[in-house]
Structure 1
Amino acid sequence: MKKSVLFLGLIYLIFISLGLPDSVLGVAWPTINGEFNVAASAAGIIAMIVSIGTILSSFQTNRLIQKIGVGNLIVCSIFLTVLGLCGFSVSQNFVFLVVSAIPLGLGAGAIDTAVNDYVALNYKAHHMNWLHGFWGIGATTGPIIMGFFLRNQNWRGGYIVLASLQFFLVVIVFLTRKQWKQPPQVAQSGKAQDSMMSLIKQPGVVFSLICFIFYVGVEACMGLWGSSFLVQVKDIPISTAAFMTSTYYASLTIGRLAAGFFTFFLSSRKLLYLSELLLLIGVVVMNFGSGNFAAIGFVFMGLGSAAIFPTMLHETPGRFGTKNSARIMSLQLALAYTGTTCLPPLLGFLADQFGLIIFPYLLFLFGSMVLLSTVMLEKVVTDTRA
């Protein structure tokens, strides 16, 4: 019992480490940008390289698990993030930052897909929600670590500390790599697998992919444009807008930790519907709320967003079967990262044409697509089981 609890604790620790680098670049970029004398928008190039690497590795995760096993894959993936973070810490020019972003993205995508599938197959829904809550802890801690070093303009020191923490985790996972259970599809790897297109044609998969694309669109757009909307449309001071935007992520993290307890008495279907409705209510409040009242909308949106992503992931084996769960989860996460990469720039382009006043309307459209796709997915899955 003690051994299983410690192993579960290791899984949570992996997700904290996954979140550590995710929000650091934006914090360090003003200093890095000034030192390397590149355009402020160049940070988007690095973020896109990380996203592309994440998408590519997500698609290959199942194949790699079959070849080297879950534990070995996680060891190698975390080590890739160590290489990427070390590369950032020693970079002397922008090109080296771009090169270092490649292993960072490749490592993150494989970790995300492998661990999410592992938890979906071996643990109950509350653990999936708590797992993603712990990602939020990492995403909150990363900027704190970097902020400490930025007091002396030493952004490289922040990346060195993050790389050291990741390397410490590599050692722990390496020592426990044989304890990771192989998923059912690995044991059957000698059999012919369904093609990717046949997986997409499986009942309900398309609706699931739509859910992931538009949900992460909401989350990514909130992070990139939420503060600008408050400043430009609501006439809220920059410092206040930054705090109000942070309430979204604080609510998201707290909500995921709380959602784990809700799974004890709410079905996944009810939890998804309630969460998606709360998200849409939050968008409405943010749009029509005046002044600081709009912050309540940010809180509602964070709480509404909290359970959607982890619950959809956890439901994958139950909806589509354990045989192909890892491959379908790879598809879901790859499409999620695609949404993260594409939808915020799309919103920015439309905002250039019509103004940021369209921000909440697009968010409402994205949220409505998530709710509608969830309803259709649940109908298809129910009809298939009948």
Structure 2
Amino acid sequence: MKKLFFILIIYLTYISLGLPDSLLGVTWPEMINDFPVEQSAAGLISMAVAVCTVISSLQTPRLLKKIGTGNLIFTSVLLTSVGLTGFSLSQHFYFLLIAAIPLGFGAGAIDTSLNDYVSVNLEAYHMNWLHAFWGIGATMGPLIMGFTLRSQFSWRMGYVIIAVIQMMIALVLFLSLPSWKKDKEVQTGTHKESFSIPALIKDRGILYSFLAFLVYVSLEGTVFLWGSTYLITTKNLTPSTASFILSIFFTSLTLGRILSGFVTFWLSNQKMLYVSFGILLLGIIAMMFGSTALLYLGLGLIGLGCAAIFPTMMHETPRRFGEAKSSSVIGVQIASGSIGITTLPPLFGVLFQNISMELFPVFLILLTLMLSVLTVRIEKRTAADH
């Protein structure tokens, strides 16, 4: 029972990671009324969060060694609460950029340390369910903000409410610190080593893994950013219909992670990845050539195909590269993903705008094929090393 309660605390922490992630996009149309900036200025805030997330992810292995997993996660959730409170109090745009700093630092450390802990200590189904709870948090954030705005409160109150929720989760984590300390090897990080990026990428398998995370998160981010635009401009759907169809992607992504947790009882991580790539390709092709019902099916299959890829690749890290390296490798994997989602989807947008939006599914297919090739190369490399 104690172990179950502890696992639920880990899941709760991943809800806290998801809560702020989707807030800025839904709140910015309201926020901009309080700040004399262009609509595109939201990109600066996103970039500030992303840069801090990358820095934090890369520094997490050292912090784990110094203060341990429990203390780091507690401190990081507290930092996200501080960042969200800063958003609610900001009277000038530059204060939003300052508030983005603790938000990014907290997110990077939570993501890296929790993924490392679960990949080393828990089974594959826990990793899938962990990332499903991120989806629950990412869904709850806009719902809380939407309810706040419909109740005639300011967007600032929405940020306050979510900051308070983060503070309450931090309190739960503080009270659970003795549970983290029971496993002293994991808690203190004494079994870990801190590796520099040049030292890591000397291993071709690790280099391929970094590229795989960059490609996958870019693929997911491209669907997030340009899915609705593709459906509206190429499939001639109304904005409301396109938004509804895209919501099917998010729903199937979250439900798929819950389902894939059960599937891991029958399929190995490697087989799970190849099945996911197949489902993903089917979904992209259905969306590319379909209309009406096939579009719904296509986006649903794309979400289902994506569901297990990130958590499965993450859970494979200790097996592929060893537990001593796992926190360092996971830190750079998460940093790679952050770099990918910050750079490639906007770059693709420029190409779509200047050439044709019909390239959208073509790029998704290319990214999926690249991911498949990288996965095969990683497996061959790690098999040779063992």
For Structure 1 versus Structure 2, the TM-score category normalised by the shorter chain is: over 0.9
2:323 is paired with a residue of what secondary structure?
coil
Q: Do residues 42 (structure 1) and 65 (structure 2) align?
A: no
Q: Do residues 177 (structure 1) and 177 (structure 2) align?
A: yes
Rounded to whole Å, the distance in 2 between the matches of 1:276 and 1:42 is 35
Are the aligned partners of 1:185 and 1:323 in contact in 2 as well (CA < 8 Å)? Answer: no
Q: Which moved more, 1:197-206 or 1:361-370?
A: 197-206
Distance 1:272 1:96, change over 3 A: same
Rounded to whole Å, the distance in 1 between the matches of 2:50 and 2:247 is 23
Are the aligned partners of 1:203 and 1:381 in contact in 2 as well (CA < 8 Å)? Answer: no
In the TM superposition, what is the alpha-carbon distance from 1:383 to its structure 2 partner?
Answer: 2.3
In the TM superposition, what is the alpha-carbon distance from 1:351 to its structure 2 partner?
Answer: 1.3
Rounded to whole Å, the distance in 1 between the matches of 2:79 and 2:339 is 21
Q: Do residues 136 (structure 1) and 135 (structure 2) align?
A: yes
Rounded to whole Å, the distance in 2 between the matches of 1:350 and 1:195 is 35
Are the aligned partners of 1:185 and 1:324 in contact in 2 as well (CA < 8 Å)? Answer: no
Deviations 1:68-117 (A, max 9, x none): 11111111111110110000111112111111111101100000000010
Rounded to whole Å, the distance in 2 between the matches of 1:20 and 1:195 is 31
Deviations 1:137-167 (A, max 9, x none): 1111111000011122511111001000000
Q: Do residues 308 (structure 1) and 304 (structure 2) align?
A: no
Rounded to whole Å, the distance in 2 between the matches of 1:355 and 1:44 is 23
Partner of 1:29: 28
In the TM superposition, what is the alpha-carbon distance from 1:352 to its structure 2 partner?
Answer: 2.0
In the TM superposition, what is the alpha-carbon distance from 1:4 to its structure 2 partner?
Answer: 1.0
Rounded to whole Å, the distance in 2 between the matches of 1:49 and 1:85 is 14
User: 1:85 corresponds to which letter in structure 2?
Assistant: L
User: 2:157 corresponds to which letter in structure 1?
Assistant: G
- Determine what percentage of the aligned residue pairs are the same residue: 48
Rounded to whole Å, the distance in 2 between the matches of 1:35 and 1:46 is 15
Are the aligned partners of 2:66 and 2:188 in contact in 1 as well (CA < 8 Å)? Answer: no
User: 1:100 corresponds to which letter in structure 2?
Assistant: A
Unaligned runs of 5+ in 2: none
Are the aligned partners of 1:77 and 1:108 in contact in 2 as well (CA < 8 Å)? Answer: yes
In the TM superposition, what is the alpha-carbon distance from 1:295 to its structure 2 partner?
Answer: 2.1
Q: Do residues 341 (structure 1) and 342 (structure 2) align?
A: yes
Partner of 2:50: 51
| 1:236-315 paired onto structure 2 within 5 Å | 236-315=237-316
Partner of 1:374: 375
Rounded to whole Å, the distance in 2 between the matches of 1:302 and 1:194 is 34
Partner of 1:98: 97
Rounded to whole Å, the distance in 1 between the matches of 2:68 and 2:239 is 48
Q: Which moved more, 1:201-210 or 1:215-224?
A: 201-210
Distance 1:61 1:194, change over 3 A: closer
| 1:92-241 paired onto structure 2 within 5 Å | 92-151=91-150, 152=152, 154-180=154-180, 181=183, 182-183=185-186, 186-188=189-191, 194-241=195-242
RMSD, matched Cα: 1.4
Are the aligned partners of 2:287 and 2:298 in contact in 1 as well (CA < 8 Å)? Answer: yes
Are the aligned partners of 1:184 and 1:323 in contact in 2 as well (CA < 8 Å)? Answer: no
Rounded to whole Å, the distance in 2 between the matches of 1:132 and 1:3 is 22
Are the aligned partners of 2:73 and 2:109 in contact in 1 as well (CA < 8 Å)? Answer: yes
TM value normalised by structure 2:
0.96
Are the aligned partners of 2:69 and 2:188 in contact in 1 as well (CA < 8 Å)? Answer: no
Rounded to whole Å, the distance in 1 between the matches of 2:340 and 2:208 is 14
User: 2:130 corresponds to which letter in structure 1?
Assistant: L
Distance 1:13 1:188, change over 3 A: closer
User: 1:158 corresponds to which letter in structure 2?
Assistant: G
Rounded to whole Å, the distance in 1 between the matches of 2:92 and 2:369 is 43
Rounded to whole Å, the distance in 1 between the matches of 2:228 and 2:382 is 38
Rounded to whole Å, the distance in 2 between the matches of 1:149 and 1:20 is 15
Are the aligned partners of 1:81 and 1:108 in contact in 2 as well (CA < 8 Å)? Answer: yes
In the TM superposition, what is the alpha-carbon distance from 1:280 to its structure 2 partner?
Answer: 1.4
In the TM superposition, what is the alpha-carbon distance from 1:355 to its structure 2 partner?
Answer: 2.3
Rounded to whole Å, the distance in 2 between the matches of 1:95 and 1:172 is 32
Are the aligned partners of 1:210 and 1:369 in contact in 2 as well (CA < 8 Å)? Answer: no
Runs of at least 4 residues off by over 4 Å:
none
Q: Which moved more, 1:339-348 or 1:351-360?
A: 351-360
Partner of 1:83: 82
In the TM superposition, what is the alpha-carbon distance from 1:184 to its structure 2 partner?
Answer: 8.8
In the TM superposition, what is the alpha-carbon distance from 1:354 to its structure 2 partner?
Answer: 0.4
Are the aligned partners of 1:72 and 1:177 in contact in 2 as well (CA < 8 Å)? Answer: yes
2:85 is paired with a residue of what secondary structure?
helix
User: 1:218 corresponds to which letter in structure 2?
Assistant: L
Deviations 1:282-309 (A, max 9, x none): 1111111124422211111000000000
Equivalent residues, number: 382
Q: Which moved more, 1:282-291 or 1:267-276?
A: 282-291
Rounded to whole Å, the distance in 2 between the matches of 1:293 and 1:37 is 43
